[in-house]
Structure 1
C-alpha cells in the first residue's frame, strides 16, 4: 500500500518500569517551594551508631577502688550535614507548523516526559551520587550476584542499620531471580530482599552501568549499589514557551519544551559491588 494512503492513528502508549526509582521504594513528595527545588540539606539521622553500655562497677572483672587509667566513658557522635542537588529533566518536541498545532506539540512533549523522566532521573542520580561516592565492597573483582548482594547488605547493615535501598541496573535484574534473592511485597508492591531492603531496578541505571569514579563496567559485568532510604522532591512540570513564542518564523518550525526538577536525597552510606552477568 502506498505511504500516502496510510491512516494516521494515535501513538503507542507506554509506561515506566514499575520498580524504578519513582516507584514504591522512594518517598516521592510533590513540592512547589522553589527553595526546596534548588537543593536541600539536613542533619544525618541514623549514621551515628547506637552502642550498648556495661557499667564497669557491675562487672565481676572490674578492678578495685584504685583503678588505673581513665574511667570508662560513653562515646558521643556529632551528626554530619548532608545535602542533595537538583536534577533537571526535560523533553522537547519539534515539528512544522503545517503538521502540528501548539496543543498537539505540547501534549506530545508532556507525554514524552511522563514516559521517560524516571529513566533520566535514574541516570543522573547514578552518575552524580552512586558512581561518585560509592565505596567498593568487592575489591577482588566481580563476584556472582548473590555474593555481591550479600556484600552490599552487609555494608548497609554495618554503616546504617535500617531499611535501605539496593540499586540494580535493569540489565542485571533477571539474575536476582536465579537464587530467589528478592521477592515482591504484596502489601506495598515493591521488591524486597530477604533482609528487607527495597530494590530499585532502573532503566537509567542500566544505561549508565559505571563503577565508582564513573568508570565503565568491564564487559560481562555490572555494578550494583546500596544506599540508605530515598526521599525525592519533585517539582511541577512546566511547559516552555507559550503558544506564540514556540514558532521560529525563519524556519516555520515549532518547538515546545517541558521541564521538571527533582531533588533525590539519600543518607549515610553508598556501597558498590561489581557482579558477573551470568548465573
Structure 2
C-alpha cells in the first residue's frame, strides 16, 4: 500500500498524430513564406483534359477544318481551380495562479501540433470533398467496401491519368486491410492500382456524403480525388506577451495557438457509400 500524502504531478503523456492522415505521406506539404498564399490560391488545372489517339497519317493540323478520313481532333480549353484558407486553433484557459504564460503557450503549441491534422481533415472533407463530389452510389444503396474502392478508382482513372488519393474515415480503415485493398509502402498506404490513401480521424468524425448527407448506420462514405497539396503557415501564438493574456475580471489566462492551411486537390472528386457491417 502506498504511503499516505499528496500525489505528485508528472509530465503529460505525449501523443503522436495518426501516421496516415492528411498531413502524412499522401499530401505534399508546402511551408509557405508568402502570406498572400494563405489568403487562398488559384491555378490552371493540369491533367483534367483527356489525351486521345489518332491516325498517324492524318493530314489535319490545329486550326484546319476536317481533312481526309480521320475524325477531327478534339481540343480542350484550360480550366482554373481554387482553394480557400482554413485556420485551425487550440485555445487554452487557466487560472493565473500556478500556470505561467510560458507554460500556457507551451501547452497550446503541443495541443495544436497533436490535434491540427484532425481539424484540417474535417475542413477539407466538409468544404472540398463533400462539396465537389459526384456520387457513384447505385440506386440499390451502399455497396461492399472493395466494390466501392473499385468504383472510385475507375471514376478517377477515366477523368485523370495520374495517381490520386483515396479518402477513408478512420472507422472504415480496418476493412480495407482485411481484403488487402491497402498495403503499406514507404510511409503511406497504397491501393493495388497505386493510388495513395488518407485515413482520417476528421473524416470519421463527419462521415458525410455529397452535399453533407450523413451516412446511415452501418455505412461510411469514401471519396477519391486527384493529388492533394497543403500550404501552411507558421504557428501563431496569441497574445505575444503575458499581460495581454490575462482577463483581470476573473483572473484567468487565455492563450491561442493558430495555424492557417490552404488544402487543394485537382480535377475530379468522386464519392460512394459503402457498408461497414458484415
Aligned to 1:22: 23
Quick one: structure 1 residues 46 and 68, their matched pair in 2 at CA, closer, same or farther if it must change by over 3 Å? closer
Partner of 1:48: 49
Task: From the superposition, tell whether residues 98 and 57 of structure 1 become closer, same or farther in structure 2 (CA, over 3 Å).
Answer: closer
1:258 alignment counterpart: 257
Q: CA 1:84–1:250 in 2, change beyond 3 Å: closer, same or farther?
A: same
Does residue 165 of structure 1 match 2:165?
Answer: yes
Q: Within 2, Cα distance between the matches of 1:3 and 1:120? A: 43
Distance 1:118 1:55, change over 3 A: same
Which secondary structure state, in structure 2, belongs to the residue aligned with residue 5 of structure 1? coil
* Structure 1 spans left out of the alignment, 5+ residues: 59-66
**How far, CA to CA, are the matches of 1:30 and 1:57 in structure 2?**
48
What is the alpha-carbon distance in structure 2 between the residues aligned to residue 200 and residue 8 of structure 1?
37
Which of 187, 190, 193 aligns to 1:189? It is 187
CA contact (8 A) 1:144 1:278 kept: no
**For residue 120 of structure 1, what is the aligned residue in structure 2?**
119
Shift of 1:55: 4.9
TM-score of the two chains, using structure 2 as the length reference:
0.93
Shift of 1:179: 0.9
Q: Using the alignment, how far apart are the partners of 1:55 and 1:245 within structure 2?
A: 72
1:35 corresponding residue in structure 2: 36
Match of 1:12 in 2: 13
Are the aligned partners of 1:37 and 1:86 in contact in 2 as well (CA < 8 Å)?
yes
- Give, in angstroms, the shift of residue 72 of structure 1: 3.1
Measured against aligned partners, the alpha-carbon deviations of 1:110-162 in whole angstroms (never above 9, x if no partner) come to 00000000000000000001111111112222001000000000000001121
Deviation at 1:70, TM superposition (A): 9.3
Q: Retained in 1: the 8 A contact 2:28–2:229?
A: yes
2:275 equivalent to 1:273 = no
Q: Which residue of the partner structure matches residue 105 of structure 1?
A: 104
Structure 1 moving runs of 4+ over 2 Å? 1-4, 55-58, 67-72
| Separation in 2, partners of 1:180, 1:78 | 40
Query: What do residues 11-70 of structure 1 show as CA deviations (whole Å, max 9, x unaligned)?
Result: 111011000000010000111211000000000000000100115769xxxxxxxx9999
Are the counterparts in 2 of residues 175 and 278 from structure 1 also a CA contact under 8 Å?
A: no
Could you list the runs of 5+ residues in structure 2 that have no partner in the other structure? 60-65
* Pairing 1:125-274 to 2, within 5 Å after superposition: 125-140=124-139, 141-185=141-185, 188-242=186-240, 243-274=242-273
Aligned mates of 1:4, 1:256 — CA distance in 2: 33
- 1:236–1:3 Cα change, 3 Å: farther
Counterparts in 2 of 1:63-82, with a 5 A limit? 72-82=71-81
Structure-2 change in CA distance of 1:118 and 1:192 (3 Å): same
TM-score, normalised relative to structure 1: 0.92
Q: What SS does structure 2 have at the residue aligned with 1:158? A: helix
- Whole-angstrom CA distance in 1 between matches of 2:129 and 2:231: 18
**Per-residue deviation at 1:235?**
0.3
Count of matched residue positions in the alignment of Structure 1 and Structure 2: 269
Would you say the 8 A contact 1:138–1:151 is kept in 2? Answer: no
Q: How does 1:83-94 map to 2 (within 5 A)?
A: 83-94=82-93
Q: Secondary structure at the match of 1:106?
A: helix
- With over 3 angstroms needed to count, the CA separation of the structure-2 counterparts of 1:104 and 1:47, relative to structure 1, is same
